[in-house]
């Protein structure tokens, strides 16, 4: 019986390695399809640039939701959400989340009704992802003052969507709780003066972390838990919310402490 269980576990593990590879291949093909086929059709549907971006974002949302459900059906992962309605009804908020695994951004965008997103240079120029992210009007994080201004402008003008950003800037390494927050999110929050919506993400067992290969799958399907918290006003964290390097540093420190405390209690 024990030998039969070991064979069954090995077969399940090999299945999930293959299914994970299939999922990543599907993601790349889907990115090319959206950029090469769907986006041009969306561009033909209207001359309004803002409407084009919204429609492309809807395509990405449903694609990411479908991708997440496909991984669940393949037996790779499971997930659950606390406070889903808060995320679905989020508009003109700065949604900030920790970044423990490669697929958390896919899960989150699939859950949000309308989302703008900050993306790094690697995704902006990757042939599999550049079509979708550029047509959706996502914002390139070039680490410049222009990047901050683009985010603030997007939050102020797009009344139908929130802006999703990962303050850590990159995924945490295996065994790490949280990277040091970059100051971009705090800078954007103060300048845009919008509510901050914290989202806590945990992945058990840990997988697809920074510098971890896709085929290093855990011995069992991983579970992603998403907890959407109440929005925080900048004024609740700062006595003085005027734009200054000191206030940006202080708000960034406050947000870092908040996430550290919340995650350490989970």
Cα four-point dihedral sign 84, 85, 86, 91: positive
Asked if 146 and 125 count as a contact pair (C-beta separation under 8 A), the reply is: no
Look up the pTM and report it: 0.92
Q: Which fold has domain 2-264?
A: Glycerol-3-phosphate (1)-acyltransferase (3.40.1130)
pLDDT of 233 reads 94
Report in angstroms the alpha-carbon separations of 104 from 79, 144, 156, 168, 238.
10, 25, 26, 13, 29
Give the model confidence (pLDDT) of 126-157 as tens digits.
887 888 888 888 998 877 788 999 999 999 99
pLDDT tens for the 266 residues of the chain, in order: 577 778 888 888 899 999 999 999 999 898 888 888 888 888 888 888 888 899 999 999 999 999 999 999 999 999 999 999 999 999 999 999 999 999 999 999 999 998 999 888 888 888 878 888 888 889 988 777 889 999 999 999 988 889 999 999 899 988 888 999 999 999 999 999 999 999 999 999 999 998 888 888 898 999 999 999 999 999 999 888 899 999 999 999 999 999 999 998 76
């Amino acid at each position: 019986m024990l030998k039969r269980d070991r064979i069954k576990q090995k077969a399940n593990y090999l299945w999930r390695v293959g299914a994970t590879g299939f999922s990543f291949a599907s993601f790349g093909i889907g990115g090319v399809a959206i950029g090469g086929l769907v986006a041009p059709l969306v561009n033909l549907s209207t001359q309004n640039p803002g409407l084009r971006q919204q429609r492309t974002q809807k395509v990405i949302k449903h694609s990411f939701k479908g991708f997440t459900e496909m991984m669940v059906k393949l037996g790779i992962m499971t997930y659950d959400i606390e406070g889903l309605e808060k995320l679905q009804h989020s508009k003109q908020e700065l949604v900030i989340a920790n970044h423990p695994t490669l697929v958390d951004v896919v899960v989150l965008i699939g859950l949000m009704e309308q989302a703008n997103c900050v993306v790094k240079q690697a995704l902006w120029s990757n042939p599999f992802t550049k079509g979708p992210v550029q047509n959706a009007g996502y914002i390139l994080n070039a680490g410049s003052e222009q990047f901050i201004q683009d985010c603030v402008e997007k939050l102020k003008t797009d009344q139908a969507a929130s802006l999703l950003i990962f303050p850590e800037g990159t995924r945490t390494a295996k065994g790490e709780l949280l990277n040091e927050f970059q100051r971009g999110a705090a800078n954007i929050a103060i300048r845009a003066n919008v509510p901050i919506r914290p989202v806590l993400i945990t992945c058990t067992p840990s997988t697809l972390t920074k510098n971890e290969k896709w085929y290093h799958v855990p011995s069992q399907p991983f579970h992603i838990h998403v907890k959407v918290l109440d929005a925080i006003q900048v004024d609740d964290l700062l006595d003085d919310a005027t734009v200054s390097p000191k206030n940006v540093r202080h708000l960034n420190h406050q947000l870092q402490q908040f996430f550290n405390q919340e995650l350490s209690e989970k």
